[in-house]
Structure 1
Amino acid sequence: MTGSRQWINNWRGLTIFAVAFLASGLGGGKIEMAAQAQETCAAGLVCLDQGWSERDRTKWYRTSQGSRLLPLSWALALEEAGRESPFFADENMRALGYLPAQASAANPHGLPIGFVVDEENSNRADIMCETFPETCNGFLMRKPWLGMTCSACHTNDIEYDGSRIRIEGAPTLADFQSFLERILAALESTAADEAKFDRFARSVLGAELSVPSRVALRAQLVEQIAWQTRLIDANHTDLRYGYGRLDAQGHILNKVAAVGGGAPMSGPLASDAPASYPHIWNTAQQDKIQWNGIARNILNIPLFGKNTDIGALVRNTSEVIGVFAHIEISPRWMTTLLGYKSSLRVERMVDLEQQLARLQSPRWPEDVLPPIDWDSAERGRALFETQCARCHADLASDDLTTPIKVPMQPIREGGTDIFLACNTFLHWSNAGKFEGRRPFVVKGDRIDSEDFTRDMLTNAAVGAVIGRSDELVGSLFDDIFRRGGSPESRESGAGFDYLPGVTDPVKKEIAQACLTSQDAGLPGDESILAYKARPLNGIWATAPYLHNGSVPTLYDLLLPSPLRVVVPAGETLAAPGPGNRPASFHVGSRVFDPTKVGFSTQPAELLVRSDGEVVETFEFKVYGGDGSPVPGNYNSGHDYGTDALSEQQRWELVEYLKTL
C-alpha cells in the first residue's frame, strides 16, 4: 500500500463532468409490462394506500433487472432434495419465507413475489463463458432464466385477526441463506440420483430429449453446481441468519471477488454479519443508503427520458450483481472505458427507481388493526421529541420530496453489533482481473494485486452500467461508495476489552482492529464505520428492529441491554435479566402483535396459520450455548436514555410510534 491510499479526504476533490453530454444524448422510451396488471388486492389481502396503483405493484413484482439464478426450464423442473415435490412449489417457498402468488397473465408460471423471468436471446447473453463453457456452447444463456427482483426482499405481509395486510417496501421475512443452500442441495441431488435426473431431463429437454442432449445437460448442471458451491463456500459461516436477515454486503463483496477471478484473502471474509432487510420508502430522498451509509445518492441526470440518480443506479447495480446477475470482467489488457458485459437491465432499473421514489410509507390501518390510543400517543410525542428527534427526522408519510441528510452514528459510540460495518471495511481480496484498474474507471488510485474488495465492487458496478448504456462515460461517476481509509492506521487498544465475554480470539482481534482504526475515530459523516438513523415513518411495519434484527418489537427496543462491544479492561458484563431486551426469541411468524408492535415470537409448535398449516420459525439467540455473546447477534446499542423511561412512558412512546 502506498501513501496515496489514505483516502479519508481524497473523494472530496473529485468532480463530475460530461453531464451535458448525457443530458443531450440519452433519451428513451418507457418500460411497459407485456402482461396486464394482476389483481393483487383481492382474495382477503388488504393493500394499504402507499401511492401505488395495481399496475405499479405488478411492475414491482414482475420486472426483471437482469438477475439470473437458474434457467427457467430448470427451475420449473427442479425437485427438492430427498423429495419429488417441485422446489418452487408454494409450500416450499412459504416455508422459506417467500410470498406465494397466483398464476396470472403477468405471472404465468405462478412464481412467488419477486421471482421473475429474464430473457436475452441475442449474443449479448453469452456472458461468463469461461465459467460456463458448456452452458454457452448449448446457447442456454439465450433462453429464459429465473432471477429475483427487489420485491423479493422488500415486500411483506402482516397477519392479524384473520386479515392479511400487504406492505410494499417493507423488509421480507425470507430465509435467503437456507434458500441458497437448498437450491444447491436440490441441484446436487439431481446430478447424483439417476431417477431424479431422468425426470429433470425429460421435463427440461422435452421433444429435444436424446443421448447427446442429456450428456450436455448433465455437463451444464455440473457447471452450475460448481459455481454455486464456490459462492456458498466463500460466504460460509456457522452463524445462521434465520428469517428476515441477510449479510448482503458480504455476499456482494465475495461475488465480486469471484467474478474477477481472484479470491478473498484470509481474514474476516465469512458472511457472518447478517442484517435485517431495510425498508425502502423514502430512499431517493436520503443522502446515504445501506445500514452503514456506504452508498450515496449524488447526482440526478436525465437518463432514458427520466431523472435518475447515478448513485442509486450504481448501488442498485451492485445489489443485482450480488443476487445472481451475470457479469464478465474483461481481461486486464482490455480497456474498461467500454464497460463490462452483463445481464443488467439498466433502463428497467431506472424505471423501477423512479417508481420507488413514489412509494409512501404505510399508515397504521385502524380499520384492520386495533385503534391507536391518541391521548397516550400525544404524551408519547413529547417523549419522542426529547429522546429521539435529534437523530430521527420528522417526515410525513406522503412527503416524497424533502431531502434527508441521514445522521450517522459511529460504531465506537453506538454500541450495537459492529460486524456489518467492520467486515465491509476490512474485506480484502486478490484483485484478479481488477488489478491495475481504477475504481471509477477513469478516477481513483489503481487497484493493487491485493486490495480492498469495495474498490473492486465500485469498478464492477460502474463498468456494468457503462457496458449496458452505450452512451454513458466513466467520467460521470463520482465517489458513489464511501470508501474510508486503511485499517493499517490504528490507535492503541491497550486498557480495553473488546467484545467482553466473547471466547473467539479471532473475533476479538477483528473488533479491536476495527474499533481502533483511524476511521473509527472520525465523525459519522466521514467514516464508513457508522450506522444510519433515518426518519421513522412506517417503522411500525418493519420488525424485527436494529440493523441486525436482534430486537423483536418496538417495546423491547425501549428496554436496556447489558451487552457492550468494548469496556475498560477487567470490567465484566451483567447477565441478562427480565428487565432487559429478550436474549432469545422466535422469528418467522407473520402474526402481528399490535401491542408491543412486532411479530409473534412464539415457537413454531405454538403457531398455526389460519389455513391450519404450522408456521416454521427460527430461534434468534443473542447468547450461545456456553453463555457468551454471539458476534453478529448483539442486541445492544440505541439506548440513548430510553433505559431510564418508566413503564408507562415506554408504552406511550410505542403508541406514538404507531402514528408515524
Structure 2
Amino acid sequence: MLRNGLVRLSISCAALLLCVGLLDTSRDVGAAETDTVCSGSTVCLDQGWTLEQRQWWYSVSQGSRLLPLSWMRALETAEAVGAPGEAPQKFLDPAHIARLGYLANPVSPANPEGLPLGFAVDQDTSRSADIMCDTFPAACDGLVMRQKWVGLNCAACHTSEIELGDRRLRIEGAPAMADFQAFEEEIAAALRLTLADRSRFDRFAREVLGDTMSIEGRQALEAQVSEQLGWQQALLDKNATPLRYGHGRLDAQGHILNKVAMTTGVADQPRTIAADAPASYPFIWNTSQQGKIQWNGIANNIFKIDLFGFETDIGALIRNTSEVVGVFAHIDTRRGKATRGYASSLRLPAMVALERQLSVLQSPRWPEELLGRIDYDRATKGKAVFDRMACASCHQPLAPDDTRSPLKEVMTPLAEAGTDIFLACNTFLHRSKAGNFAGQKIFGVAGDRIADTDFTRTMLVNTAVGAVAGQFDDLLLSLFTDVAPNGRPSASPSLDRRDFLPGVDDPAKKARARVCLTNSDELLAYKARSLNGIWATAPYLHNGSVPTLYDLFLPAGVQLVGPSEADRAEGAAATAGEVGPHRPEVFGVGGRTFDPMKVGFRSDPALSPSVFRVRDPATGAPIPGNYNSGHDYGNAALSDAERHDLVEYLKTL
C-alpha cells in the first residue's frame, strides 16, 4: 500500500515539476547572462553550479510575498527629504539596499525587474491567490492578491561576498550580511509615512495607479496600504526586542514561531517569548547530507522520496516551508485543517527544485590566487593540534566536492556547549494559544493532539505539513512522521543552587536558563558539523559572536553558570576568567573587507555599519543572546603560534 502510494506521489510530483520546467536547472548559458553574474569586479568560485543555476537561485520565487511589486517600486524611504522639491530616496534604490546589507543583482532574463539578489517576483492570477482575505479584505476585493508581489528567497540570506580591494569574491551558500531587522522596521516606517504625508501618498498613488488614477482608486489603495501596514506592524510588535540583531544575524526561529502564533485565529494571543535570540545565517552546502537541520537540530531529514531519479527529503520540504512561512508567505490556517491542506502562496515545485540544486552545491575552496598562499608547513602543525584536541570527533572531515556522503553531525547539549543558550531555549519553551490548531494531530494524521495552549513548534509543524498537503493529496500526510522532535520540559532540580547567567538581572531569563541548562531533551543542543568551507562563514559560533577563526581559539570572558550567592558566602569562588587575551567583546559587523590572517571580516566598530556587543555598555552585564562563550576545549592553554597554525589548517578544508 505504501509502495503504491509512493509511486503515485512520485509520478504526480514529477509531472508537476516537469510542467513548470523546474526539473532542469542546468540549461545552456547564454552570453548575455554570463555577463551579468560573474564578471567585471565580481569573481565567482567554482562550487559546482553553472552561471544560469546561480542566476535562477538568485531570483526564483518560493512563495514569499512582502508587498506588491508596483508598491515596492513606488515606495520611498522614511528618511527626511533633502533639497526643497527633492523626493526621498526610493526604498529599492541600490544604495539603500546596500546599506541594509543585501546584494545587487543585475537585470537579466532571470531578473527582468532588476531586483536585489534574493528578491523574487511572485504572481498567481487565479482565484487560489485570494488568501488571508479576513486579514486583507481590501486587497482581496481589489484583486491585489493576484498582482505581482515581491518577497525573499533562500539566496537573500545565504549568499555572501568578500571584498578584496576593488574586487569581490562571491560565495554561494555562505551567510549573508543582511540586516533583516532594520529591513522590516524600515518597510513599516516607509508605509506609515506614506499614509501620513499626503504629498508622499500622492507620488506613491500616481506611480502605482498610473493612468487608472481616480478618487475611488486612491481610496481603495489607501485602504490596502493600511491593511498591509497593520499586518507588518503586528509582526513587528510580536517580534519586538531591544536587542539589535545588526548585520548578518536574525532570530529566524523566533520570527517563524511568532508568525505561526498570529495565524491561529486567537485575537488575544499573548507574547510569551520575544524574538531576542538572533543567529548567524547558517552556511548551507552539504545540507541534504545532514540528518538534523538548523543550529539546534529542530528539523530531521527523515525520509527521501524519488522524483524521477532525484531524492527529495520530506524533512527538507518541511524545513523550507517553515522558512517561507517566516519570510512573508501568505498562509491561511483559520478555516481549515492540516488534513485538508492549508491555502498558501507556497511554490512547492520551486522549493523541490531549489533543494535539488542545493544538493550539488560544493563548499568553497580557499582561493590562493586571491586570498594568498596557504602555508602548508603551518597547516600541517595545525592539523596536529586539531587531532590532539580531538576536533574531528565532532566535526566529521569531508572533501569539498563530496556532496553525497551521509554526515553524522554531533548534537552537543547546551550545558556542555557552553555558548549562548537562547536560540535553542526560546524555541523549546515558546508557547501559544492554539486556536484553530487545538485538537489537531501535529502531523495531520499522526502525532499527539495539540492542546488548547501548547508549544508553538507543534503548530509550526502542523502549519508546514498542511501547507504542503494543500498542494498534493492526503497521501503525502502519511509520510510526515517524526519530522520534528517534540520534547517537553521536565522539572528543574529544586536543590540546584547555581547562579544561572551570572551578572544578568532579568529573572525571566535566569529562570529559562535554569530550565534549559538542567533539562536533557534532545532539542536543547547545538549541532557540530563538518568544517569544510568554514573559512568563508564568519562571524563564528551559532550567534555570530566571534569575528574571526583566530578569535575563536581564545577563551571567553563570560560564563553561563557560576556559584550561587549562598555558595559564594560559604566559600565557593566564582569561576574567574583566564589570564591573557580573550575573545573580543565589542566588534563591528556588516563590512566585507576580509582579513586572510585571522580569517574573518575586518571589524573596526568605527568603520562598520553595525556593532556587536557581548555586554551592556551601561551596566557591563552580559547580554542574553550575545554570549560569546562556548566551544572552548582548552583555548587558554594554546600558544599564539598554535592558534595561527589551527587557522592555517582550517583554510585547507
What range is the shorter-chain TM-score in?
over 0.9
1:330-479 equivalences in 2 (<5 Å): 330-331=334-335, 334-387=336-389, 388-470=391-473, 472-479=475-482
Aligned to 2:301: 297
Deviation by residue 1:477-520 (Cα, 9 ceiling, x = unmatched): 111111212x253322522100011122221112112223xxx2
1:94-243 equivalences in 2 (<5 Å): 94-243=98-247
Aligned to 1:642: 635
User: 1:72 is matched with which residue: 66, 69, 73?
Assistant: 69
Amino acid at match of 2:553: L
Deviation by residue 1:183-226 (Cα, 9 ceiling, x = unmatched): 00000000100000000000001111100000000000000010
Aligned to 1:10: none
- Tell me if 1:41 matches 2:38: yes
Residue aligned with 2:222, SS: helix
- Tell me if 1:23 matches 2:20: no
Using the TM superposition, give the Cα deviation of residue 575 of structure 1 relative to its aligned residue in structure 2, in angstroms.
5.9
The question of whether the paired residues in 2 share the 8 Å contact of 1:26 and 1:305 is answered with no
The question of whether the paired residues in 1 share the 8 Å contact of 2:554 and 2:581 is answered with yes
Amino acid at match of 1:88: L
RMSD: 1.9
Amino acid at match of 2:14: G
Residue aligned with 1:543, SS: coil
The question of whether the paired residues in 2 share the 8 Å contact of 1:175 and 1:243 is answered with yes
User: 1:56 is matched with which residue: 36, 53, 56?
Assistant: 53
CA distance in 2, matches of 1:448, 1:457: 14
Aligned to 2:648: 655
Residue aligned with 2:467, SS: helix
Amino acid at match of 2:358: L
Residue aligned with 2:629, SS: coil
Using the TM superposition, give the Cα deviation of residue 572 of structure 1 relative to its aligned residue in structure 2, in angstroms.
3.2
Amino acid at match of 1:594: P
CA distance in 1, matches of 2:650, 2:512: 36
CA distance in 1, matches of 2:622, 2:13: 53
In structure 2, relative to structure 1, the CA distance for the partners of 1:305 and 1:404 (3 Å cut) is: closer
Residue aligned with 1:278, SS: coil
Residue aligned with 2:171, SS: strand
- Tell me if 1:632 matches 2:625: yes
Using the TM superposition, give the Cα deviation of residue 304 of structure 1 relative to its aligned residue in structure 2, in angstroms.
7.3
Unaligned runs of at least 5 residues, structure 2: 82-87
CA distance in 2, matches of 1:597, 1:181: 32
Amino acid at match of 2:632: D
Residue aligned with 2:150, SS: strand
The question of whether the paired residues in 2 share the 8 Å contact of 1:16 and 1:476 is answered with no
Using the TM superposition, give the Cα deviation of residue 417 of structure 1 relative to its aligned residue in structure 2, in angstroms.
0.3
Using the TM superposition, give the Cα deviation of residue 641 of structure 1 relative to its aligned residue in structure 2, in angstroms.
2.0
Aligned to 2:84: none
Residue aligned with 2:225, SS: helix
CA distance in 2, matches of 1:367, 1:385: 28
Deviation by residue 1:48-91 (Cα, 9 ceiling, x = unmatched): 00000001101110110000000000000000013411101110
User: 2:310 is matched with which residue: 288, 306, 311?
Assistant: 306
Using the TM superposition, give the Cα deviation of residue 370 of structure 1 relative to its aligned residue in structure 2, in angstroms.
1.2
The question of whether the paired residues in 1 share the 8 Å contact of 2:174 and 2:283 is answered with yes
CA distance in 1, matches of 2:253, 2:557: 28
Aligned to 1:612: none
Aligned to 2:254: 250
The question of whether the paired residues in 2 share the 8 Å contact of 1:422 and 1:511 is answered with yes
The question of whether the paired residues in 1 share the 8 Å contact of 2:302 and 2:483 is answered with yes
Amino acid at match of 2:558: L
The question of whether the paired residues in 2 share the 8 Å contact of 1:245 and 1:276 is answered with yes
Aligned to 1:618: 610
CA distance in 1, matches of 2:578, 2:266: 44
Aligned to 1:597: 599
Aligned to 2:288: 284
CA distance in 2, matches of 1:481, 1:588: 33
CA distance in 2, matches of 1:305, 1:285: 17
In structure 2, relative to structure 1, the CA distance for the partners of 1:572 and 1:265 (3 Å cut) is: farther
Residue aligned with 2:282, SS: coil
- Tell me if 1:557 matches 2:545: no
- Tell me if 1:494 matches 2:496: yes
The question of whether the paired residues in 2 share the 8 Å contact of 1:412 and 1:521 is answered with no
Deviation by residue 1:453-475 (Cα, 9 ceiling, x = unmatched): 00000000000001022464311
Using the TM superposition, give the Cα deviation of residue 642 of structure 1 relative to its aligned residue in structure 2, in angstroms.
2.8
The question of whether the paired residues in 2 share the 8 Å contact of 1:500 and 1:572 is answered with no
TM-score (norm 2): 0.93
Aligned to 1:11: none
CA distance in 1, matches of 2:579, 2:454: 44
1:517-536 equivalences in 2 (<5 Å): 520-522=519-521, 527-536=522-531
1:263-274 equivalences in 2 (<5 Å): 268-274=272-278
The question of whether the paired residues in 2 share the 8 Å contact of 1:410 and 1:529 is answered with yes
Amino acid at match of 1:77: A
Amino acid at match of 2:621: S
CA distance in 1, matches of 2:587, 2:475: 49
Deviation by residue 1:561-596 (Cα, 9 ceiling, x = unmatched): 132111232343546876110011011110000000
Deviation by residue 1:367-419 (Cα, 9 ceiling, x = unmatched): 11111101100111111122211110100000011100110000011111000
Residue aligned with 2:37, SS: coil
CA distance in 2, matches of 1:121, 1:306: 30
Between the aligned residues of both structures, percent identity stands at: 56
Aligned to 2:532: 537
Using the TM superposition, give the Cα deviation of residue 645 of structure 1 relative to its aligned residue in structure 2, in angstroms.
1.0
Deviates more, 1:488-497 or 1:395-404: 488-497
In structure 2, relative to structure 1, the CA distance for the partners of 1:646 and 1:443 (3 Å cut) is: same
Residue aligned with 1:540, SS: helix
CA distance in 1, matches of 2:388, 2:577: 29
Unaligned runs of at least 5 residues, structure 1: 1-14, 608-615
TM-score (norm 1): 0.92
CA distance in 1, matches of 2:270, 2:584: 34
In structure 2, relative to structure 1, the CA distance for the partners of 1:493 and 1:23 (3 Å cut) is: farther
Using the TM superposition, give the Cα deviation of residue 335 of structure 1 relative to its aligned residue in structure 2, in angstroms.
4.5
Deviates more, 1:393-402 or 1:100-109: 100-109
- Matched residue count: 626
Deviates more, 1:160-169 or 1:528-537: 160-169
Deviation by residue 1:235-279 (Cα, 9 ceiling, x = unmatched): 000000001000000000000111122378657510000000000
In structure 2, relative to structure 1, the CA distance for the partners of 1:80 and 1:359 (3 Å cut) is: same
CA distance in 2, matches of 1:261, 1:493: 41
Amino acid at match of 1:530: A
